[in-house]
Structure 1
Amino acid sequence: MNDVKSTVSQLERQFRELTPEEIIAGNKIQADAVDEEYQEFHEAYQKGICYLCNRPFDDVDEMNPCMHILLRRKRFKKGLYESLFKNCEYFRIAAFLRWVANEEVSAKNINDLKDECADNKVFNETIVWKNIEWTFDCSQSDFDGHEGSEFGNEPHWHFQMKEDGFIFIKFNDFHIKFEDNDLITMSLVKDNAIQHTFGNAGMGMQNVMDIADEQPELFLNNSKTANECEEKAAVRVQSIISAPPGETFSGEDVYQAIQMSKRTGKTISACMQEIFGHKCSAFVMVSPHDGVPEIAKRGKRK
C-alpha cells in the first residue's frame, strides 16, 4: 500500500506540471488507444470469439482462464472464476462486461446510477447481458480493508453473478483483492487528479443522465424514439411544450411534429423546437426506463 501511495503522489506531481495542451494530447492518445482496442473486441465479438485469447466464447484454457468465462457460454467450474479474479483488475473486468452489454443495447443494461447507490459505496453497479447478470459492489469499509478480519483485511471488492435469475456466484464467495493499478486509478480519481470513464463504448445509465442534465439541447437533438423497439429504450422523456407568448399550437402543428418524429426518429419535443425554433419553450423530464435493471444489493457483512 505504501508503494501505491508513493506512485500516486509521484503521478500527481507530474500531472500538475503538464500544460493544458499536453493534457489534451495525452487524453487523445489514450482515447485513440481505447477506441482501437474496442474495435478489436467488436470485430471478434461478432464472430463469437474473445479478442483477448482468440478462443470461442465456449472454450477456455483452464490453466489460464480468460475473462470471457464470465459470459457463461459453457458451465465452467467456480474454481476457474476464483483464479480469474486473482489475476485480473477490476477496471479491466468492468470495461469488458460493459462492452459486452452494450453490444446488445447501448447503456440501458448498465445500471450505475448514483441515485440508486448507497452513500457508503465506492461503487455498486449491475450489468445485464442475455441471460446473465453481474453486479460489482465495494463499500468504503471494503476499500479500506476490514481491520482484524481473517478475510478481506486488504482493500477488496465483491461480485455477484446470476444465470437465468439464479445466483451462481454469491457476493460473499470471494473477497477480490484490488490490484495496484486499480488502487492507483481510484486514488487519483478521489484526489481529483484525473477523471475516469469507460468511454462511449462502455457508457452506462449515469452517463446518459449526466448528458441529459448538463447538455439538454444536445441530448434531445440526438435522442431517438423507441417506436416499435421499446425494449431498447434507455430513458423516458416527458415534455411540456409552451407556445410563444400570445400564440397557440394548432392541431396541424402537433400533427406535423408527430409525423416528423415518425420519419426521423427524433422526439416530438425536438421536432416541435425544430419547427418553431427557439420561439417555443420546453420543460423536459428525463428518467431511466422501466427496463433498466435494478442494482442488486448486498446484505450486511457477517
Structure 2
Amino acid sequence: MSEKIREKGKEYSRFLETLTFEQIAYENEVSYRNAQAEFSRFVDSFEVGICYLCEKPLTSFSKKLPCPHWLLKPKGFKKNDLPAVAQKHGFYQIQSFLRWVANQDKFARNINDLSEEGTGKLFEVTIKWKNIEWAFSCAESDYQGHATSQYSKHQHYHFQMRLDNRPFINYSDFHLPFSEMDIINIEAMRARPEKMTQRFLFGEGMNDLLSDETVEHIVNTSVPLDMEDEAMFKLNTIAIADEGKTISGDDLYALIQEAKAKGVTVASLMHKLPNARTQVIVAPGLGVVEQAPRGRKSDA
C-alpha cells in the first residue's frame, strides 16, 4: 500500500514538470490566498479561545473529536491520546497548527527548524509556546519504515512534548504514521526539489529568516537589545586588516560610539572601518528556542 502511495507522489512530481512558469505562479498565488484565508480564520478564533478546526474551546477535550488543539494540553488530554490526533490529522497539518500557535507569541524565534542545529535527519523542528515545547523528528530509516517490529514498519515520524521542561511525551513513545497526503507531498519534494519545496505559510521559523537573501537585511535593520537572552539574532563580526595596514583602536571606538548614538548594531557600521575587510556572521540569538535532539535510544 505504501509503495502505491509513494508512486502517487512521484506521479505528482512528474505532473509538476509539465507546468509552465505562468501556471506554477498561478498555483502558488492560489495556494497563498487559501493559506491566508485559513490563517485569518485561525487568528480570529484563537484570539477568543476557539479552535478554528473543530470550533470548540481550546480548553475543551473530547475523545470523539481528535484535534491538534489537544496539544495545547487541555484538561483530560493524556499522552496515549496522541495517536488519535495523528491518525485524523497529518504531519503537516499538526505542525502547521503548532507553528501558527507559536507565532502568536514570538514570531519565528519559537520555531527552530535550522538544519545546521539538527542531527541530519529528514525533518527536525522544535516549537515552543508558553510553557509547552513540541518537537518533530523523522530520520531516513523512519521514512522508509523499520522491519524490526509491527509498530514501526510503516512510514512514520516521532514526536516529543514537554510541559514546563518536564517530559510528557517522549520520542520513543510512538511511531506516528504519515498520512497519504503527507507521503505524496514528501515524495514530490524528494523527486523534484526545484519544483516543490516545504513551506509553512504564516508559520515561518528561523530557517526562513536566516538565509543568504535575508542576512544583509538583518544586519542593517537589527537593533541592539539590553536583554541578550531575548535576542533573535547574534551578530559576530570578523575584521581583517588590509595587507600592510593596521586596524586602529580609535576607529573601532568611534564606530562603537556612533552605533550607540544611532541605536544600531556595530555590525551594521563595520563596513566603514578603514584599512580592513569585514565579514558579519548572523547566527540564532539566545532568544531562539533550542532544538530538542533525538538521541540514539529513541531513534527506533
Same fold (TM over 0.5): yes
Show the counterpart of 2:281.
Answer: 285
CA apart distance, 1:259: 1.9
Amino acid of the structure 1 residue aligned with 2:260? I
CA apart distance, 1:237: 0.9
Classify the secondary structure of the residue corresponding to 1:197: coil
Taking structure 1 as the reference length, the TM-score comes to 0.84
Show the counterpart of 1:181.
Answer: 181
Q: Higher relative contact order by CA 8 Å / sep ≥ 6: 1 or 2? A: 2
Aligned with residue 259 of structure 1, among 258, 261, 280: 261
Q: Are the structure 2 counterparts of residues 286 and 247 from structure 1 closer, same or farther at C-alpha, using a change threshold of 3 Å?
A: closer
Show the counterpart of 2:37.
Answer: 36
Classify the secondary structure of the residue corresponding to 1:202: coil
Q: Is the 8 A contact 1:91 1:182 kept in 2?
A: yes
Q: Are the structure 2 counterparts of residues 250 and 207 from structure 1 closer, same or farther at C-alpha, using a change threshold of 3 Å?
A: closer
CA apart distance, 1:153: 0.7
Aligned with residue 237 of structure 1, among 235, 238, 248: 235
CA apart distance, 1:294: 3.3
Task: Give 5+ residue unaligned stretches, structure 2.
Answer: none
Classify the secondary structure of the residue corresponding to 1:49: coil
Structural RMSD (CA):
2.9
Classify the secondary structure of the residue corresponding to 1:142: helix
Residues in 2 aligned to 1:196 and 1:206: alpha-carbon distance in whole angstroms: 11
Residue correspondences, number: 291
Amino acid of the structure 2 residue aligned with 1:236? K
Counterparts of residues 88-107 of structure 1 (less than 5 Å):
88-107=89-108
CA apart distance, 1:281: 6.0
Superposed CA offset, 1:2-60 (max 9, x none) = 33233223322321121112111211211121122122212222222222122221113
Taking structure 2 as the reference length, the TM-score comes to 0.85
Residues in 2 aligned to 1:107 and 1:167: alpha-carbon distance in whole angstroms: 24
Classify the secondary structure of the residue corresponding to 2:236: strand
Residues in 1 aligned to 2:215 and 2:160: alpha-carbon distance in whole angstroms: 35
Q: What percentage of residue pairs aligned between the two structures are identical?
A: 32
Aligned with residue 295 of structure 1, among 262, 276, 292: 292
CA apart distance, 1:65: 2.1
Task: Give 5+ residue unaligned stretches, structure 1.
Answer: none
Show the counterpart of 1:116.
Answer: 117
Classify the secondary structure of the residue corresponding to 2:97: helix
Residues in 1 aligned to 2:101 and 2:278: alpha-carbon distance in whole angstroms: 36
Q: Is the 8 A contact 1:124 1:135 kept in 2?
A: yes
Residues in 2 aligned to 1:294 and 1:15: alpha-carbon distance in whole angstroms: 33
